[in-house]
Amino acid sequence: MFRLAWKNLVNDRMRLGVALAGVAFAVFLMLIQAGIYVGFTRSASAVVDHCRADLWIVTSGSPNIEAAWPFSEDDLAAVKGTPGVASAEKLIHSFGYLRLPDGEGRWAQIFGFDPATGTGGPWEMVRGSVADLKRPGTYIVDESAAGQLQGLGVGDRLENIDRKMEIVGVCRGAKSYTTNPILFASYDTAQRASLLHHERAGFIVATLAPGADAAEVAERLRRFPRFDVRTRREFAAMTRDYWASKTGVGVGIGLTVALGFVVGLVIVGQTMYASTVERLREFATLKALGATNAGVCVLLWTQAAIIAAAGWAAGGAGAMLAKGALADKPIAVHFDAPLLAAMLAATLAMCLGASLLSVVRVLRVDPAAVFK
């Protein structure tokens, strides 16, 4: 059956090429958009995901890493004194306004942490060291922000809200999930350079003592007024969900994926139906020779599966090339095995769905038509 299906397809190479191009384009569009969505959500929670702390303490009602009411020093002391907590540190997230060498202004996100421990800071350095942030007014930027910062690198100086700043390191993996580049600095530097001019921590991160139960410690911390306590995984999921569902990004990308699916469905359906109509006498001959309706359906579905597999491979290869081309850009594209498998299933469903018109048409063919 596979051999017969293949011969039917290659008999008209031009039509097969159109079908494969349609499926490949649909797969490319769906996979790139899905990859951007996954990369976007992973970037939004990257700082949380890579933080070595076990628990994130935020003020009640804080939905993500960007929206948190600041704590006081008394709150930090209360966390440190909670049974089961081995250590606790304060982190700050703020916004700066950079003045680039040509005079252009640009917003930036600043994450402040303690360079002595590295908790909450960059997790993969390309140049420089986290220890270099101990000097006031120094920053580490992600390598993907080079274009946004006009190619500035280690040793370059610029201004942040009229304060002199120096880039002392370049990291990897902290791609921006907005149009603003991400900077890492010491807590004190980020505190002084914040455009919001607040001087208190936005987050407290806690590391559990050996043998301590995370759920029990979290419950103790929730007894303090205004505390909302989340595990690292829970807070990362909250941040991803906020950006995916509350900002409309998920809906926009979902519509584009649906559009790619419909495009592939229409192209494959039209191509297969036209081919089927041209070969109605051949299908009638098969039936006259004893082929069952189920056998004929399997033939058409095999053709659809071949188109799906070839189109998925071609579209996936194109998406991989595009991902490589975007590797050093601010936009993050991420593919993993579950996403690729899901896209293969969607492509197969698309092509099998497109074959339904052809299946219905063939089922109505009268075997006696071959004798007319």
Determine the pLDDT at residue 228.
86
pLDDT at 243: 79
Residues in the chain: 372
Tell which phi-psi region holds residue 84, choosing left (phi > 0), alpha (psi between -120 and 50) or beta: left
| pLDDT value of residue 290 | 73
Residue with tokens 């995901």: 49
The structure tokens listed for 128 are 């420089």
Task: List per-residue pLDDT tens for the chain, 372 residues long.
Answer: 667 667 766 777 887 888 888 889 989 989 998 898 888 888 888 888 999 899 998 887 777 677 666 777 678 888 899 999 999 998 888 888 888 877 788 888 889 999 999 999 999 999 999 999 999 999 999 988 877 787 778 888 888 877 888 999 999 988 887 778 889 999 888 888 766 555 566 888 999 999 999 999 999 998 887 888 888 898 888 888 887 777 777 777 888 888 888 888 888 888 777 777 776 677 677 777 777 777 777 888 888 888 889 999 999 999 999 988 887 777 788 888 998 999 999 998 888 888 888 878 777 776 665 555
Cα gap 40→240, rounded to integer Å: 8
CA distance linking residue 191 with residue 203, whole number of Å: 13
Predicted confidence at residue 72, as pLDDT, reads: 73
Between the alpha carbon of residue 15 and those of residues 275, 358, 369, the distances in Å are 8, 15, 26
> Residue 287: helix, strand or coil by DSSP?
helix
Question: What pLDDT does residue 127 have?
Answer: 92
Cβ–Cβ under 8 Å, residues 145 and 300: no
- How many C-alpha atoms does 92 have within 13 Å on its Cβ side? 28
> Residue 12 has what pLDDT?
73
- The pair of structure tokens assigned to 285 is 């001959």
Q: Quickly list DSSP for 356-368.
A: HHHHHHHHT--GG
pTM comes to 0.77
User: Alpha helices of the chain — where are they, by DSSP H?
Assistant: 2-10, 13-44, 46-49, 73-80, 187-192, 214-221, 232-241, 249-278, 280-288, 293-325, 337-354, 356-363
Q: How many CA atoms lie within 13 A of 317 on its CB side?
A: 8
CA atoms within a 13 Å half-sphere pointing along the CA-CB vector of 114: 13
Residue 279 backbone dihedrals phi, psi, to 5 degrees: -115, 25
Cα end-to-end distance, the chain, whole Å:
27
How many C-beta atoms surround the C-beta of residue 148 within 10 A? 21
**Residues 97, 89: Cα–Cα separation, whole Å:** 26
Q: Are 244 and 326 in contact (CB under 8 A)?
A: no
- Torsion of the alpha carbons at 55, 57, 60 and 62, rounded to the nearest 10: -80
pLDDT at 370: 55
Burial class (CB in 10 A: 0-12, 13-18, 19+), 223: exposed
